[in-house]
Each structure stands twice: as structure tokens, then as C-alpha cells.
Structure 1
Amino acid sequence: MTAKNTICLWFDGTALEAATFYAQTFPDSAVGAVHRAPGDYPAGKEGDVLTVEFTVMGIPCLGLNGGPGVPHTNAFSFQVATDDQAETDRLWNAIVGNGGQEVACGWCKDKWGLSWQITPRALTAAIADPDRAAAIADPDRAAASRAFEAMMRMVKIDIAAIEAARRG
């Protein structure tokens, strides 16, 4: 890896499987070097895959097969900004359909327990504060509040429903 900062993700022997799935699912993603253990270690044997270098949407990652007992939590997630409902559906369905699970408000978990936020840009625009100058001139917090309330009732984000809520 040439990046100075890399996200290290802990897996229980499935780092290569996860990296391959991410590379096949997300644009600008790839599996790089696969490093095998030069000797036995607590979670594996000499020759087992120890680490996998990969990128997820341009973000350098390292999958470490560190063994059991260190599960992923919601304290870390990948947030993926999607451009339309088709992209939202494709990514959501790929994660959930590959042994993952739906959570809420655009969040899902992959089969390795890693959290993903599949977030349409339309949702971000609907609930974000307008820039300060625009907010002072014409704040429409009611529209943002309606969109936010609609999102809170969703599992996978429905852009048409967010836009309808925003319009009132």
C-alpha cells in the first residue's frame, strides 16, 4: 500500500472473501496484494491469508484475519452517497442479498458485520442546513423536518418518498 493512512478492518478468516465482494460491488474498488502468514499465529497457520490490501470506492483498506472475538460495530461505517434510486437499490440489495441485514434509516450490515450507510444525495440535500446566507434569507426548516421524519420511518431510503415529504 502506498497510502499513509489505511483503514484496517478485522475479520475472522474471511478478509479475502470480503475484499473480493467489495471490489465486485462498489465502483473504484479493487483487491490488491494478498499476504500469507509466514508462520503459525493465534488465528491461523503458516500460509493462511493474513492480510489483504484492497480499496473500497478509492479508500485504501487492509483486511486483517485476526480471528474471532472482535466484531464490527456501528461505531464505524462506510457511508456511500448514491445518485439515484437505481444505485441505492443496487448497492443495498447487493449487501443485504449477500447474507447481510437491513437495519434502519439507510443503514445495513454486510455478512461480515460491517455497517454501511447507503445514503442518496437527495436525502442529504433534503435534510441538510442550507448554507448560512441562504438560511438567513429563506430558511425552510419545515421541509427538512418533514424529510427527516420520513427518513426515520424508513429502512432502505426511498428517494420519491423523501422528495414528497420535502414538498409537503
Structure 2
Amino acid sequence: MTKQMYPCLWFDGQAREAADFYCSIFPNSKIINDSGMVVNFELDGQFFMGLNGGNHFKFNEAVSFVIPCDNQAAIDHYWYKLIADGGSEGQCGWCKDKFGLSWQVVPTVLGKLMSHPEKGQRVLQAFMKMKKFDIETLENA
């Protein structure tokens, strides 16, 4: 039997800096240990490993982390913190942090709004024009 799976994030010598950055954004987060090569940390109870593996590999959108948010304040918090200091905005709730890691900052109500028989298509059209999600605009679509 295996233990809980967890992601290993490859950095070019920035694993501790990244772990500190992420721990400053997510509640209930902490650095567990730092060997220099590997940094183990938790973000809101989810275990992560940061590996100082060198410049051989870069992050891309093929892997992203989804942050489900119950309200606009949470969306705004994660969005602006993640894009700070060199991150970038993408479309439809996607953004990249300053290390190049992709995130999806998504309202938890999105699935319900999109499956609404009368307004689902309008919700889709509204969010396709957005970068950061705006819950009020989606609800009023």
C-alpha cells in the first residue's frame, strides 16, 4: 500500500524561496525541512517537495494547481499574491507566479453557473473574456 501522493516541483536553485513565497500566501502552511537540495513544505495541509534540480526543466501549462475559491475576496487574494513580483495574468482564471508555475484561481460556484440550463452559455461567454474571475459578473450573465 502506498502513502499519500504529493507533487515534486523542480526549481533552478529557488526551492526555498518558492516554498517561503507559497507559505506566505496559503493559510496553515509551513516549511517542514530544508536539506539544501530538497525543501519539504505544506500548503494548507497539502505536502509538497521542492527540488533544486538545476536549469534543465521549466514549468509550463501542462501542469497547474487549481485553487477553488468560495468568494471574490479569496479570488482576489490568491490572484494578486501569485502574480506579484514578476508573475503574469492568463485567461479564464489562469495565472503564473514568478517561478513560472501555473495556477487556476476558480470560483467554486462556476460549475453550478455553467450547468444552468438558461444562462450557462452566457456564463461561458462572460468568463472567456476574463483574466481574473469576477463572481458577480458571472452570476449576472
Which of residues 99, 115, 128 is equivalent to 1:112? Answer: 99
Partner of 2:55: 68
What SS does structure 1 have at the residue aligned with 2:137? helix
- CA distance in 1: counterparts of 2:27 and 2:65, whole angstroms: 14
Q: For residue 22 of structure 1, report the CA deviation from its aligned partner.
A: 0.7
* Letter matched to residue 98 of structure 2: K
User: Which structure is higher in helix share?
Assistant: 1
**Alignment of 1:89 onto 2:76:** yes
Write the distance in 1 (CA, Å) between the matches of 2:86 and 2:111: 27
Equivalent of residue 66 in structure 2, options 79, 86, 89: 79
CA separation in 1, counterparts of 2:100 and 2:117? Answer: 35
Q: Any unmatched runs of 5+ in structure 1? A: 36-48, 130-139
CA RMSD of aligned residues (A): 1.3
Q: Residue 5 of structure 1: CA displacement?
A: 1.6
> For residues 4 and 97 of structure 1, what CA distance do their matches in structure 2 show?
31
Deviations 1:34-62 (A, max 9, x none): 01xxxxxxxxxxxxx20000112322110
Counterpart residue type for residue 22 of structure 1 = Y
3-state SS of paired residue (1:141): coil
* Structure 1 counterpart of 2:112, from 98, 113, 125: 125
Structure 1 residue runs of 4 or more that deviate by more than 3 Å after TM superposition: none
Separation in structure 1 between the aligned mates of residue 45 and residue 91 of structure 2, nearest angstrom: 26
- The structure that has the greater radius of gyration is 1
Number of aligned positions between the proteins: 139
Name structure 2 gaps, 5 residues minimum.
Answer: none
- 2:84–2:98 CA contact under 8 A, matched in 1: no
Show the counterpart of 1:25. 25
